[in-house]
Amino acid sequence: MARPILLAVDDDVNVLEAVVQDLRREYGATYRVMRAASGQAALDTLALLKTRQEPVALIVSDQRMPGITGVDFLERSRDIYPETRRVLLTAYADTEAAIRAINSARIHYYLNKPWDPPEEKLYPVLNDLLEDWQAGYQPPFEGLRVIGHRWSLRDHRMRSFLSRNHVPYRWLDIAANDIAGNDIGGNKDALKLLADRQFDPDRLPVVLFGDGSALVDPEPEALAARVGLSIQAAQDFYDMVVVGAGPAGLAAAVYGASEGLRTLVIEPEAPGGQAGSSSRIENYLGFPSGVTGADLGRRANIQALRFGAEFLSQRATGLRIDGQYRFVQLANGREVSSHVVLLATGVHYRKLEIPGAERLTGRGIYYGAALVEAVACKNEDVFVVGGANSAGQAALHFARFARQVTMLVRGKGLSATMSKYLIDEIERTSNIVLEAQTQLLEAIGEERLEGMRLLGTQGESVVPASSLFVFIGAAPGTEWLPSTILRDEQGFLLAGPDLRADGKLPEGWREPREPFLLESSVPGVFIAGDVRHGSVKRVASAVGEGSIAVQFAHQYLAGF
């Protein structure tokens, strides 16, 4: 298999040579290093590589070049290789160009020249970027393959589970011909594989492993075990059990484990939580060119593992309190015990309550599925419902693949509900259309979504539609918790000062002290992130609360 390519671009021969040498020295064994002496030459090279289907992992380009500048070149390179990591080389005085590059060319990093010593100033940055690229790169190997049907909820769930756990797979969609009207690959391969291996095409998805074994329509737990995720706790007792591995739970795991607490994290999906479905978080401190939620989740997961935290691929279904011990019950019928429990279960997407929505979920209607489904919507028309940041990010992400993205918004516009930087970018994106003051009345279709009945400013209309992505807010899923954990009318959990009603602590509170800031109505059970009543629904605040909760856990444990 051809090694992925690193492309260096600079009109100054000496600088170009220096970049190439530095790249070769560190990455020559794994990557092929190529060079181009101008933006135009680099674009020609990329076009040629594309026709040969060669993978390009990284482009490092100088900014000041005659003809096409580095920013313009990098922007145009996105059309050819959208997933390639883009780095701009600038002089110190070029900060403005660098900021423009982040906004328009969506570069992943800018480096000031000179970068000596490269071990300190160049390689750590490039290692990080190449690791990100590798995480999303699916080399043409015969590894794990999923044969499924695009309009099946189970197929969608399985692909989502694999992607978010960073398990590379090749998807063979047996419905590919039906939607595009022509052969876009996959279909014939899929049917042949099913026939060769005598699998029933009515029992999908089928997961084929590299060693020839297969799982037919497996439950997540069976799949988790097969791809090497842990489904059983290594110990019976932990200092702290964290329920949920979104930003709040991951932060608690990193701080808890790094400070010596035996920490277990329970998460049935993949580390990253809601943020994991975000195509680009732009307002999280320290990532000037944004970071995908999946990358953030992956990095935090590795960080927590490094400090010794344990992760369990399970859902918590109950919480039992017995004296100083807290028992978290799991979906497989087992339980794990600890002194401290941190509930960081976040929120889940609010469902569309219109006729047809339930029947067609996973068959054209998706919740928060921007990353998994985007490629399947190539050259199609896509609809996004919702006017908040999550809907805006999804629309921008789809716009890279779809022919047109239509945003359906109930309000008069986006300004009251969406951040300005996203609104500006949506306005700059020519294939996004905004349908304001529009309400969805019905989803039409039997086997899959075929159309929608809308109520807009011109009255009712029916429009054809095959993909509808829903981002209309979220609700906490806290029904599984005992009633002793107090909550508000919407189910968000009360903690710290919010536990006082009319100035009084809850009747069940027996401690001679006030509840700690993030402590629930049950001592030793803490709350962090979006699931907490009154929380700010942001990655940074969830991370902050997760880490602060660990400090209170220490104080609580000190009382034993």
Residues at the interface with ligand FAD (CB under 6 A): 243-249, 266-269, 273-275, 277-278, 281-283, 315-316, 344-347, 368, 389-390, 393, 477, 480, 529-530, 537-540, 542
Burial (0-12, 13-18, 19+ Cβ within 10 Å), 517? middle
Nearer to ligand FAD by Cβ, of 15 and 331: the residue is: 331
Burial (0-12, 13-18, 19+ Cβ within 10 Å), 258? middle
Minimum distance of ligand FAD from residue 271's CB (angstroms): 7
Q: How many CA atoms lie within 13 A of 399 on its CB side?
A: 19
Dist CA 13 CA 287 (whole Å) = 32
| Strand arrangement, sheet containing 451-456 | 439-444, 451-456, 459-464
Tokens 């019928």, located at residue: 333
Enumerate the β-bridge partners of residue 48. none
Nearer to ligand FAD by Cβ, of 167 and 455: the residue is: 167
Q: How many CA atoms lie within 13 A of 127 on its CB side?
A: 9
Pairing label, strands 85-90, 109-112: parallel
Nearer to ligand FAD by Cβ, of 240 and 275: the residue is: 275
Minimum distance of ligand FAD from residue 527's CB (angstroms): 10
Nearer to ligand FAD by Cβ, of 65 and 254: the residue is: 254
Minimum distance of ligand FAD from residue 315's CB (angstroms): 4
Nearer to ligand FAD by Cβ, of 366 and 556: the residue is: 366
* Residue 513: Cβ within 10 Å count: 11
Count of all residues that appear for the chain in the document: 560
Among candidate residues 154, 196, 74, the one with its CA nearest the CA of residue 361: 154
Backbone torsions φ then ψ of 537, nearest 5 degrees: -85, 75
Minimum distance of ligand FAD from residue 302's CB (angstroms): 16
Minimum distance of ligand FAD from residue 187's CB (angstroms): 30
Minimum distance of ligand FAD from residue 270's CB (angstroms): 7
Burial (0-12, 13-18, 19+ Cβ within 10 Å), 305? middle
What CA–CA distances, in Å, run from 103 to 39, 100, 403, 424? Answer: 19, 5, 22, 10
Nearer to ligand FAD by Cβ, of 325 and 421: the residue is: 421
Nearer to ligand FAD by Cβ, of 240 and 542: the residue is: 542
Nearer to ligand FAD by Cβ, of 440 and 549: the residue is: 549
Mapping DSSP to helix (H, G, I), strand (E, B) and coil, where does residue 433 land?
strand
Minimum distance of ligand FAD from residue 247's CB (angstroms): 4
Tokens 């239509």, located at residue: 406
Nearer to ligand FAD by Cβ, of 70 and 244: the residue is: 244
Dist CA 554 CA 533 (whole Å) = 23
504, two tokens: 């009084």
Dist CA 192 CA 409 (whole Å) = 43
